[in-house]
Amino acid sequence: MRYVLLLAAGISLFACNAPSTPDATTKADPQHPGQGQFTAVISEDQIFDKQLVLSAVSITKGKSRISDKYFLKGVDAYRNQKNPDEGVKLFKQSIMEQPQARAYFELGNALAELNNLKDAASAYEIAEVLDYKPTSKVLYNLACVYSRAQEAKAAHYYLISAIEFGYSNTKNIFGDKDLQYLRNVTDFNTEVAAALSGATDPDKLQWNLFWHEFKPVSYPLVLDEKYGKKLGEDYISYEYERFVAEMRNNDKFSREVGYEFYHVGLAKATDSVKTLVYAVKNVIMNGYVPPEYYIVSFDHVGKLIDKLLIGGHVLLKEPFRVATLTENGNIEIGLFSQVYKKDPENEGYEDNELEDVKLLEKQLYSITEDGHFVRKENLLGMNR
């Protein structure tokens, strides 16, 4: 396996002796005054200064909602509206508020589409340093921009590295026009075939990469409002949208940009079934919005077996769910009514006091051997 981060700095096509830039500045997040959230802010001319970005990330505490909103607007502009110029502006705004791997990755995509190969490569390299997942995807994109820039050595290095990190979409590798230069100037077929030896089907590989990002659950796992505040930045990449239906706006057939998606954990793993838990969080509504939690089972190639909403609620008029998962495969779900001082549908959650909570019902499910979620009869006295 290649040590990509160490070598990447040594072969960068676009390296130059730029003058030193001033340090990043810091500020408290105005969306959460007094909550200990502290972000390092960089200027536009510092966006591609790798060392300064790493320094800014190291002193950042908490998340910037402003940065997240710029990022989601950028995804909408670039992916849904097909406007890479506007996407670049918004991704840069997001990064200037708080550098994040996903913003750098999407910035690289938009810049590459605009044929700004130098900055695209810089954006991808910083996304890699910030641990963008899946690693194989950012390495493959680096291979593409270096090939388009006719830098065979760098393109070859990143393509082979991408394959070694799990990229095996042979249709792209042998047909992507971005790699045409590399295919023409190297012993491409032989070298790629050697790197691909033993690789699996691309769809199955993507599934394996997806579920491996979920760490085993620590039991008992209680999915309530408090847990939602600890989700951190363990985002699920949009590269895995085929496994996360909520990433798609089915009415528009476009990416859903009003929500963020998080890994929660691996609840069950056998050779034939993987059961995962993930969270979906509304980031458009004002104030802290409790996430929705889903438990989902897939077969050995990533085909959906069963799915269940176990925490939060999709519609505010629905009961609010709180789930407790135990090691024996049981899932207990409490359904609650919640009364807020102001209607969250119209007023949001910010400065909106929760006045009353009432338990309506408890439900008990179990995970079967084949990955289905089966409702059990309520235990005696469970709803009392």
Same domain, 242 and 338: yes
**Closest listed residue to residue 124, CA positions, set 140, 110, 138:** 138
Task: Flag whether 262 is in a domain.
Answer: yes
Query: Based on the domain organization, do 165 and 88 belong to the same domain?
Result: yes
Query: Is the same domain home to 13 and 143?
Result: yes
Indicate whether 143 and 34 sit together in one domain: yes
Q: For the chain, state the CA radius of gyration.
A: 23
Looking at the fold, whether 165 and 227 belong to one and the same domain comes out as no
Per mean pLDDT, which range of 98-107, 260-269, 336-345, 363-372 is the poorest?
336-345
Of 155, 179, 206, the residue that ends a domain is 206
- Stated pTM of the model: 0.59
CB 169 within 8 A of CB 159: no
> Within this chain, do residues 123 and 267 fall inside the same structural domain, yes or no?
no
Max CA distance (Å), the chain: 74
**What distance in Å separates the CA atoms of residue 107 and residue 23, rounded to the nearest whole number?**
22
The tens digit of pLDDT for each residue in 306-324 reads 999 999 988 777 899 999 9
Confirm whether 68 is domain-assigned: yes
Q: 195, 143 in Cβ contact below 8 A?
A: no
Q: How far apart are CA 365 and CA 384, in angstroms?
A: 18
Q: pLDDT tier at 7 (50, 70, 90 boundaries)?
A: very low
Q: Is residue 154 part of a domain?
A: yes
Query: Is 95 a member of any domain?
Result: yes
307 shares a domain with 251: yes
Count CB neighbours of 219 within 10 A: 13
- Confidence class of residue 353 from pLDDT cuts 50, 70 and 90? confident
b/e burial code for range 120-159 (CB count within 10 A of at least 16 → b): bbbbbbbbbbbebbbbbbbbbbbbbbbbbbebeebbbbbb
d(CA 21, CA 43): 10
pLDDT at 381: 46
* Shared domain check, 237 and 102: no
In a domain, 381, yes or no: no
Q: What CATH number did the domain enclosing 99 receive?
A: 1.25.40.10
Model pLDDT for residues 30-76, shown as the tens digit of each residue: 444 444 455 557 899 999 998 889 888 888 777 888 999 999 999 99
**Lowest pLDDT segment from 305-309, 351-355, 362-366:** 351-355
Asked whether residue 1 carries a pLDDT value surpassing 70, the answer given is no
- For the segment 233-261, the average pLDDT, to the nearest whole number, is 77
pLDDT bucket at 333, cuts 50 / 70 / 90: very high
Same domain, yes or no: 191 and 333? no
Domain identity same for 24 and 61: yes
Clarify whether residues 232 and 152 are in a common domain: no
pLDDT tens sequence across 137-180: 999 999 999 999 999 989 998 998 888 788 878 899 999 999 99
Same domain, 131 and 157: yes
Query: How far, in Å, CA of 108 to CA of 373, rounded?
Result: 41
Position 370 confidence tier, pLDDT thresholds 50, 70, 90:
very high
CA 182 – CA 167 distance, rounded (Å) = 17
Edge-to-edge strands of the sheet including 292-298?
Answer: 259-269, 274-282, 292-298, 304-311
- Count of domains in the chain? 2
Range of the domain at 273: 214-376
Q: Which two tokens stand for residue 26?
A: 């810091």
- Residue count (the chain): 384
